Amino acid sequence: MLIERFENWIGILVFKLSSMEFGCNISLVRVLHSAKQKYTSENLITYDGKDIPFYYMGDLLKLKNGSKIKDKHILIFESIEGPFGFGIDELIEVLPWNKKIFENEVKSNDVADNKFLLGKICFQERTILLPDFNKIINLIKNKQYASF
């Protein structure tokens, strides 16, 4: 993965699933606290007055949940299909986009299984995986969850 893929990003929202760190383009998601959301039925929540699909991201990626509080926060991803909600365990931080820092400190790599990842970045001795929400949504629609 080349640095050019980040050019349109304003920052990386870093979050945790189980004990692993993931990140996404902060301009593509909204973050909600799950306690303030109304769950209408399994796999649906109310967002902006409409029922939208909702999934715990750790289940989709087949990660064992080490957190006592599952779905503490919800990422709302706006796709072509409309909004989708993804439960996450913990928000970590926002890494603001700074081209100089990213060129000097971030090493980005492709991943062997790009079924659901854009790639990964290594930053300050951390590995942050970058999920591809569009691919994940397509897997949901086809009921083919990723294996990790």
CATH number, position 56 = 2.40.50.180
Q: What is the pLDDT of residues 82-140, one digit of tens each?
A: 899 998 988 999 888 766 655 555 555 554 455 777 777 777 788 888 888 888 888 88
Q: What is the DSSP letter of 99?
A: H
pLDDT at 147: 43
The answer to whether position 102 is within a domain reads yes
Structure tokens at 14: 């870093």
The answer to whether position 146 is within a domain reads no
The answer to whether position 81 is within a domain reads yes
The answer to whether position 136 is within a domain reads yes
Number of structural domains in the chain: 1
The answer to whether position 147 is within a domain reads no
Its domain, for residue 34, covers 3-141
Residue of higher predicted confidence among 110 and 23? 23
Most distant CA atoms of the chain, gap in Å: 46
Global pTM reads 0.78
The answer to whether position 60 is within a domain reads yes
Residue-wise DSSP of 40-62: EETTEEEETTEEEEEEEHHHHTT
CA dihedral 46, 52, 58, 62 (to 10 degrees): 140
pLDDT band at 2 (very low <50, low <70, confident <90, very high): very low
CA distance 18 to 5: 27
The answer to whether position 68 is within a domain reads yes
CA distance 68 to 74: 16
The answer to whether position 148 is within a domain reads no
Return the residue matching tokens 């973050």: 31
